[in-house]
Amino acid sequence: MNPLKFYMIFFFLFTATVFLQPEENGSFPPLDTNEKFVYGTKRENGKEMLFLYRENNENMNTVIPVGQWENVEEPYIQFSADYKMCFFAKYTFKDIDTGGRGSLRIFDLYLANGHTGKILYVTKVISHFRISRDGKYLCYIKDSTNMAEVKIILYDIELLKTSNEFEWRSNRPIDGGWYIRRSMDNTFRILGTWEGGYICTVAVLNLAAKEFKVLWDKTDSQGEIFLPRVSDEDWLDDVIKQRTYPNIKKFEEW
């Protein structure tokens, strides 16, 4: 083989390997089989703080600190279904200008993996995102300021790369916002709303089939009076509710 060609192949493989390795940002003893993560939040010196702990399921009165991070807001703390993986997004204070349509807040997403005892940097993400309940996928809306169409990104956390992209144009532009909810069956629901939080269009992303499907779109019927609201119980998910679970959230200080 030509030496130059061999060097180019080696360089490509080496570079690909390097960039596929997650960046480690700390470590701790892996969780035992009878342990899970719990957390607390606090405002300190004007900054939102996340405090992460490990807790024995048989002795819930004792928690052991794992770490603490600043610039982590409540909505951006998410867990896998078994609470052995904690994902948290730190605000980087670097926004994207969308050309008159507002700006997108950019976050650095991290994973505290209780199975391995490592804290890893995952990727950059905007504010509207969800982690799948098995901790394998990240789903986020690329540009939530576009009221006529959205691009939904499905990111493979294990492979550290985008798995699929889905483009969705509603019948008519919305005037509220776009939201993502995760469901108990490990699917994602993407919601479009009118002002006031009325849900006018809904799609579902099936992770098993990698299939995106619009369930209904009522954006062209503003006279509809029986639309659900994004704050209704049926449209919430465990990420929103977790701050009310005393066995998961230990304290909140403001």
Q: What is the dihedral of CA 24, 76, 156, 27, to 10 degrees?
A: 20
Q: Can you give the pLDDT at residue 252?
A: 85
Q: Can you give the pLDDT at residue 22?
A: 54
Q: Can you give the pLDDT at residue 236?
A: 96
Element (H, E) at 4: helix 3-20
3-state secondary structure of 239: helix
Q: Give the number of other CB atoms < 10 A from CB of residue 36.
A: 21
Q: Can you give the pLDDT at residue 248?
A: 94
Query: How distant, in Å, are the alpha carbons of 2, 9, 112 from that of 179?
Result: 53, 43, 25
Q: Tell me the pLDDT tens digit for each residue of 145-192.
A: 888 899 999 999 999 999 999 999 999 999 899 999 999 999 999 999
User: Mean pLDDT of successive 10-residue segments in the chain (254 residues)?
Assistant: 36 34 78 96 92 91 92 94 97 71 82 97 90 96 86 95 95 93 95 93 95 94 80 95 93 80
Q: Residue 162 corresponds to which amino acid?
A: T
Instruction: For Cα atoms 200, 139, 21, give the angle at the middle one, nearest 5 degrees.
Output: 170
Total-model pTM: 0.85
